[in-house]
Amino acid sequence: MSDFNRGFARSVPTDRADMSVDVGLRRFMLGVYNKVALGLVLSAGLAFLTGTFPPVRDLMFNVAGGRVGYSILGWVIAFAPLAVILFGSFALKNATPKTAGLIYWSVVSLIGASLGVVVLRYTGASIASTFLLTATSFGALSLIGYTTKKNLTGMGSFMIMGLWGLMGAMLINMFVQSSAMALIVNVLGVLIFAGLIAYDTQRLKMQYYELGGDENAMGVATNWGALSLYLDFINLFQFLLSLLGSRR
């Protein structure tokens, strides 16, 4: 899912990456980061609701014998964001800021609801500490992507290829149930999404200059950009939690 709308024009030279004094760029990026932050707050609230409020929890999750899993409704909600993203990618070729925003908040809400499983599986202390670690890492990696003059396109393409391989490995391990393979998948997941955070940040900078001040296009790009960075954050958080989290 994290591979959403990552293309940007190669015509903008990377040496324009030294743009920290550009007021328009800062306003654009601040809009993206604000959406990501609000999306994370909404997701956290929904995860807490679905993971702790019994009527909702029992509809979405199966908790038995120390094992936590999704119910049929839970699986539908867990995979619904992928359907929304695919719809946004292929059906809405000329999205408006309003429709792009609707897609963003729909995905954020669905993912947040499905993350109730995290509340059920891990202790509150480990969730909080891992979230703090993820937020710190996200800030540092995004700053690297924002300030570097090095073109990260090649690295981004490599990370996206790795993402497809990672998804295949995760699917295989659903049947194999290998703890060693799970560890490798989690480590690779952390590395891949760490790289994508820096890449997506630089991509958004380049996209801002490509749009040339088109307010409507920038409204759409703000939502798409927030979606990419939100997905990077959530995936990094989940892989770190799988590696470092303490289970209940």
For residue range 151-208, what is the model confidence (pLDDT) as tens digits?
Answer: 999 999 999 999 999 999 998 988 888 889 999 999 999 999 999 999 999 999 999 9
- Give the pLDDT confidence score for residue 2 in this predicted structure: 41
Q: Report the C-alpha gap between 132 and 194 in whole angstroms.
A: 15
Question: pLDDT tens across 81-100, in order?
Answer: 999 998 887 766 778 889 99
Higher pLDDT, 148 or 20: 148
Question: pLDDT tens across 212-223, in order?
Answer: 777 888 889 999
- Give the pLDDT confidence score for residue 53 in this predicted structure: 94
- Give the pLDDT confidence score for residue 86 in this predicted structure: 87
- Give the pLDDT confidence score for residue 20 in this predicted structure: 45
Cα–Cα distances in angstroms (integers) from residue 123 to residues 160, 241, 244, in the given order: 32, 10, 11
Question: pLDDT tens across 11-36, in order?
Answer: 444 444 444 457 888 899 999 999 99
Q: Report the C-alpha gap between 175 and 230 in whole angstroms.
A: 29
- Give the pLDDT confidence score for residue 95 in this predicted structure: 82
210 by Cβ neighbours in 10 Å (0-12 / 13-18 / 19+) ranks as middle
| DSSP line for 197-216 | HHHHHHHHHHHHHHHTT-HH
- Give the pLDDT confidence score for residue 67 in this predicted structure: 82
Q: Report the C-alpha gap between 41 and 109 in whole angstroms.
A: 10
Q: Report the C-alpha gap between 176 and 227 in whole angstroms.
A: 32
Question: pLDDT tens across 51-72, in order?
Answer: 999 999 999 998 877 788 899 9
- Give the pLDDT confidence score for residue 92 in this predicted structure: 65
DSSP E strands in the chain: the ranges are 61-64, 67-70
